[in-house]
C-alpha cells in the first residue's frame, strides 16, 4: 500500500490500470494496454498498483466502490480523477467520495477530467476517423468541484434574501 512508502516514492504510485482486458459480447477477453505500459512507452517511471473496483451495477457494488476508494486514499493525498469511462451514476458517487475524503482525510483534488468522445460523434462515427485525425476534447471539471467548496469557505453558505 502507498502508506508504507517514503513521501517521494508515494507520489510516484498510480493506482489502477495495469494491462488488463475487457470482454466482448461473446465473453472473450480483449487485451488492452494499461496505464503502466503507456507511461513506460513515453519514459515516465511510476509504480502501478492494481486495485479491483466493481463496475457499480447494483447498490452493493456502489457501496463496495465507496469503501474500496476510501480505504486506498491516504491522509493528505492528491487526487487526479478521470471520469471518462463510467456508468452514469459513478461521477455522482465520485463527487460524494471526493467531498467525504476532503473532510475525513484532508485530500487535495488536483484534476477532474472527462474525455468527451461524444462531442465528436457516436462510436461508429469516431471509428471512421483516422486515429491521427481524432481530436477528442478533454473537459476540465475541477472548477465544478471547487464550487462545492464555496459554501464552506463563506462560513456555511450565503443566505438568500428576498427584497420586498
pLDDT tens readout for residues 118-159 = 899 988 898 899 989 989 999 999 999 999 988 776 665 555
Answer whether residue 11 shows pLDDT above 50: no
Of 87, 76, 102, which is closest to residue 2 (Cα–Cα)? 76
Give me the pLDDT at residue 5, please: 47
Per the listing, cell 464555496 goes with: 150
Helix, strand or coil for residue 107? coil
CA 18 to CA 15: how far, in whole Å? 9
Grid cell of 94 as nine digits: 465520485
CB 68 within 8 A of CB 51: yes
Give me the pLDDT at residue 162, please: 56
Cβ partners under 8 Å of residue 61, min gap 6: 54, 55
CA 74 to CA 3: how far, in whole Å? 6
Give me the pLDDT at residue 36, please: 80
pTM over 0.85: no
Query: In terms of residues, how long is the chain?
Result: 164
pLDDT digits (tens, 9 = 90+) for 86-125: 778 888 999 999 999 999 999 999 999 999 988 999 888 9
User: Would you list the domain boundaries of the chain?
Assistant: 1-51, 55-153
Amino acid at each position: 500500500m502507498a502508506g508504507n512508502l517514503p513521501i517521494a516514492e508515494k507520489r510516484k504510485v498510480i493506482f489502477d490500470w495495469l494491462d488488463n482486458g475487457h470482454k466482448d459480447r461473446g465473453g472473450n477477453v480483449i487485451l488492452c494496454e494499461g496505464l503502466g505500459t503507456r507511461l513506460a512507452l513515453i519514459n515516465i517511471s511510476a509504480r502501478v498498483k492494481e486495485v479491483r473496483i466493481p463496475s457499480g451495477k447494483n447498490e452493493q457494488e456502489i457501496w463496495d466502490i465507496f469503501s474500496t476508494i476510501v480505504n486506498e486514499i491516504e491522509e493528505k493525498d492528491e487526487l487526479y480523477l478521470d471520469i471518462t469511462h463510467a456508468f452514469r451514476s459513478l461521477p455522482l458517487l465520485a463527487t460524494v467520495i471526493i467531498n467525504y475524503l476532503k473532510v475525513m482525510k484532508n485530500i487535495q483534488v488536483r484534476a477532474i477530467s472527462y474525455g468527451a468522445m461524444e462531442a465528436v460523434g457516436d462510436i461508429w462515427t469516431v471509428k471512421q476517423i483516422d486515429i491521427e485525425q481524432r481530436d477528442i476534447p478533454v473537459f476540465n471539471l475541477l472548477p465544478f468541484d471547487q464550487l462545492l467548496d464555496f459554501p464552506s469557505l463563506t462560513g456555511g453558505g450565503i443566505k438568500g434574501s428576498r427584497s420586498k
